[in-house]
Amino acid sequence: MRRRFIVFLFLLYTNLCHAIFLEEFPNLKDFVFNEPTSNTYFGLGLSPISIMNSKLYVAANLFQIHWINDRFDMEIFSASIGSTINSEDYSSSKHFTFRTIPKYRIFSFVSIGPLLGFEFVRFSNISARLYKDRYVTPYDVFSSNGLIYGLGISETIDQKNNRKIKISQNIYKQTYSTTTTNNGWTYLYQNPELAVEANKDKISAGIVIMLEISYLL
């Protein structure tokens, strides 16, 4: 314990002397080794207002990994949760989305690139069952999933201590199905609203236009 305390004091004294020395001779700062900054960033994001198939959509991006240098601005991976806001309860939905956006810097702070990901959708107020041939499942909350693809544009604002604020504008197409599953089962809805064919369009996949603000560190 005593030895560790002595080592701690020695390191503290060394760093203090180092700082005082550079204050006395500021011109030498250019010759002092500094650990290079990392190109990898972690972040959190918020999408306060977006449009999803003519409905308002709010989302929180819970986890992001970025790799950024002078030429590329790569959103390697991000995961977000969100929900729609609309007056018709049956068409309200919750979404869990994974995505990647490899972007290229077209200006010093503006980047653009393709968006590719996967989405899980759940309609809590809709009950549906699956049937195929002679087989039928019990009614359960309707959920579906599918790929998403589109385009991402972002503006990056540098902050102190190598932090960044990123403002992103994303547009993507949803592909989840409201009629059949990937393995050939068909959805049969219990809700009377969905007996009207026009109402099914309100829960169908559509286009998402999203504004997102992220903080990277």
Q: What is the CATH number of the domain that holds 66?
A: 2.40.160.20
Q: Which residues lie across from 88 on neighbouring strands?
A: none
Size (the chain), residues: 217
Residues 67 and 105 in one domain: yes
Given a contact cutoff of 8 angstroms between Cβ atoms, the answer to whether 167 and 159 are in contact is no
Cα distance between residue 190 and residue 200, in whole Å: 13
Judge whether residue 7 has pLDDT over 50: no
Tokens of 215: 């903080």
- Same-domain status, 12 and 94: no
Query: Does residue 107 share a domain with residue 9?
Result: no
Q: Which residue has the higher pLDDT, 15 or 99?
A: 99
Q: Are residues 55 and 18 part of one domain?
A: no
pTM to 2 decimal places? 0.83
- Give the per-residue pLDDT at 9: 46
Average pLDDT over the chain reads: 88
Residues 135 and 151 placed together within one structural domain of the fold? yes
Among 18-27, 87-96, 102-111, 134-143, which is the least confidently predicted range? 18-27
Q: Do residues 25 and 95 share a domain? A: no
Residues 11 and 95 in one domain: no
- What does the pLDDT average to over 40-46? 96
Count of domains observed in the chain: 2
- Provide the domain limits for residue 73: 38-216
Looking at the fold, whether 155 and 190 belong to one and the same domain comes out as yes
State whether 144 and 71 are in the same domain: yes
Q: What average pLDDT score do residues 177-182 get?
A: 93
Q: Is 142 helix (H, G, I), strand (E, B) or coil?
A: strand
Same domain? 86 vs 172: yes
